[in-house]
């Protein structure tokens, strides 16, 4: 029985036997190792841990340039993610936050928040008090919105506001975010993408006031965090 068949059968004992005759780090036609394959088969944490103990190399990329951890993030396998994180010496990347595993996981807060040791990351899961404050800002029912704005003093709340903002509205609140000293680079990156910064920068001329406000916001983002243009 091949190693891949043993993994598909979800049998730890078969995997151990097959591994005696197989190269655990050999890649198939898709560039996947047995570890990649186990993750695509939604194997248990025990299976992932067994492969690692048998000598599977988690750092090998497949043809999509995805490591086992990248694949685990894609398949939202939190148990596999946690095991593979233990194999890393550092979560940081010399080229910045865009190249990190945290960045890959950022659309799944429960996964991303296991990687908060990553330089430049931000906690994405809000506590109840933070959720309540955010709702009061996004859906005001009184004249106290300006006062509530002053309470948005943390990177977590500023980032959450950007990600939950209705970008069909006037962008004035976002000017306050990008000017705030607690605003992080990752918040600027996501803001630039959400506002479609490349589009506004491509225009030769804008006429309407709301267009000028959008373009001004994009210019502020790029001026404070030039990395958004990379």
pLDDT at 74: 95
Same domain, 139 and 190: yes
CB within 8 A of 183, min separation 6: which ones? 155, 158, 177, 224
What are the b/e assignments for 134-168, b being 16+ CB within 10 Å? bebbeeeeeeeeeeebeebebbbbbbbbbbebeee
Same domain, 7 and 78: yes
Better-predicted residue by pLDDT, 139 or 42 = 42
- Tens-place pLDDT, residues 152-199: 789 999 999 999 999 988 898 899 899 999 999 999 999 999 999 999
- Tens-place pLDDT, residues 122-132: 999 999 999 98
Same domain, 186 and 97: no
CB within 8 A of 75, min separation 6: which ones? 39, 40, 42
- Tens-place pLDDT, residues 92-103: 999 999 999 999
Same domain, 62 and 135: no
Same domain, 216 and 132: yes
Dihedral (Cα; 209, 211, 217, 218), 10-degree rounding: -150
Say how many domains are in the chain. 3
How many CB atoms lie under 10 A from the CB of residue 37?
21
Same domain, 103 and 146: no
Mean pLDDT of 34-45: 94
Same domain, 173 and 106: no
- Tens-place pLDDT, residues 5-28: 999 999 999 999 988 888 999 999
pLDDT at 112: 97
Q: Give the pTM.
A: 0.88
């Amino acid at each position: 029985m091949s190693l891949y068949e043993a993994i598909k059968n979800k049998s730890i004992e078969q995997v151990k036997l097959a591994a005696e005759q197989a190269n655990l780090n050999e890649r198939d036609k898709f560039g996947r190792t047995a570890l990649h394959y186990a993750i695509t088969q939604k194997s248990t944490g025990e299976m992932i841990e067994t492969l690692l103990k048998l000598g599977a190399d988690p750092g090998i990329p497949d043809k999509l340039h995805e490591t086992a951890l990248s694949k685990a993030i894609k398949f939202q396998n939190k148990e596999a993610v946690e095991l593979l994180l233990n194999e890393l010496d550092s979560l940081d990347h010399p080229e910045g936050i865009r190249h990190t595993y945290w960045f890959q996981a950022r659309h799944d807060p429960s996964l991303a928040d296991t990687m908060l040791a990553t330089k430049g990351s931000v906690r994405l899961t809000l506590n109840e008090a933070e959720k309540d404050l955010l709702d009061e800002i996004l859906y005001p029912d009184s004249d106290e919105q300006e006062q509530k704005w002053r309470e948005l003093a943390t990177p977590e709340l500023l980032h959450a506001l950007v990600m939950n903002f209705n970008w069909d509205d006037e962008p004035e609140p976002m000017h306050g975010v990008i000017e705030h000293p607690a605003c992080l680079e990752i918040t600027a990156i996501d803001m630039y993408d959400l506002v479609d910064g490349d589009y506004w920068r491509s225009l030769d001329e804008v006429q309407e006031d709301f267009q000028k406000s959008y373009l001004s916001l994009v210019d502020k983002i790029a001026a404070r965090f030039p990395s958004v243009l990379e």
